[in-house]
Chains A and B, each alone.
Chain A
Amino acid sequence: MNSKAKHKPKIGVFKFASCDGCQLSLLDAEDELLGIVAALDIAYFPEATRTMLKGPYDIGFVEGSVTTHQDAQRIQEVRRQCKTLITIGACATAGGIQALRNWKDVDEFVRVVYATPQFVSTLKLSTPIAEHVPVDFELRGCPINKYHLIELITATLAGRKPNIPTYSVCIECKRKANVCIAVARGIACLGPVTQAGCGALCPSYDRGCYGCYGPMETSNTASLTKQFRVLGQGDDQIVRAFRGFNAWSWQFRKASEDCEHK
């Protein structure tokens, strides 16, 4: 995938603990893929190519969270090799679903899954990349929106700020003229506190938002917690709602812990 042309920015895609879905988003941009790769020098992207060139890289995309000692060291090296470091997705940005271990005894978790726990080496916490190294941009989502990724690459190449929304899913619902499922039908919905990006998918499919894009810029989780109670949600349900794919983001973390310890 590499090109010898010198002016093309050199790209690396690095995976940590994750499902591969966010990097797959690039390959899922079927209409744009050949155009994108023509503008870039894909130097390291093991999911797509055997060619693996050494850094430094102009842009590094990091998918996944840090869950092992080796990965905690590897992210330091990745950071040193990348001029611009961009995290893609909820795992890299908020620890991912595997951050649910952060409230439990990880050794017990390992014993549940593996017969010989001493073969398994894992950290007590699943942590986002920014807890380890400075990150230049965090792209949200579980998974990310491929059009955000294309916008981010384009903006980075042009040297401008990417046009990625920081408002809530509610705005997307209003734009789509969805009837509010929380107000009209009493369905618990994380939309008011969740960053836009999916196109208000869940409400458009008659279900409450479950927070794939993590907390919006100024999320009022305390108010939403109250409203969830009005809708008849128990504390255990509210804790589970905030402990999803962005559970370790500080806003959702605080909301779930407030509810647990009230």
Chain B
Amino acid sequence: MVTPPGRLGRAERAAVWVLCRLLPVGFRARQRSEWTGDLIAIGGGAAIARWRYLFAAAWTLPALRAQVYRSGLDSPRPGGSAVRASVAVEMITKVLYVGLGLPVLSWFIAIPFRYVLLDIPGRFAHMQENPRPFDPMDLWPVDGPFVVLIPLWVALSLGAWAALIGPLMSTFVAFVATLVNPKYMGASRFQRVVWAVLGAALLMIITVLTFLSDLVPVLRYAIDRGLSAGLYGCLTVLAAVALRGLSRRRRMALVLVGLGGIAVFVTHQTAVGEAMLSWYLD
């Protein structure tokens, strides 16, 4: 059956509807017009060409979604001229997402998640009733086929330490900034690799120095139990409210990351948080 010109068949309309449902709400109407207009222009007699068009649109839908979010076109402003985030805002946002988000996520997996999931208090109680050799830290399999998990464990541990140790947290944020900054300043790949290596070396030095706090007493204060993460969390929430040109989704993501940073600090001020920290530091 040939669809009359100027109209889409029922199945084509349904396909456009499904594709549009998979796009951000604020962008659906715009893209529906684009696709519908194109399909009408292709013509009712060219059913194969229309379905080929729809298949191509479906194939590139993930890319379209990603670009819509990245461009901030998912929440168009009245009048159609979206206020775009400046380069500085883009940079600050990325630094906060990664610089605070990664340590907070690592902290959550490495400390509270394991503490609750593996019932560490229960194991301690059991150990006191039935004394026998037991290392409560030995809960991450690293032998045999699990050897591939070692890099993940190292990354999670470093991230968790960054959330707990003030200087490490700040260095990590600065490290992320050096990785994000050159991209916008047009630095070459080689320069970015050099900065990344130097930043990683600095992170390792600070971590080692912190563990040598018996030799350098002032470093005992470096383990600030999430104070720095909390402060960065407050800054991130403020940034989410104050920065211009961010989409609602990105703003919400920043708020979540910020609240995560604050949660690190608040958790370690409670009795349970204190117990978690003692277990982790031991």
A and B associate: no
Which residues on A are within 8 Å of B, measured CB to CB? none
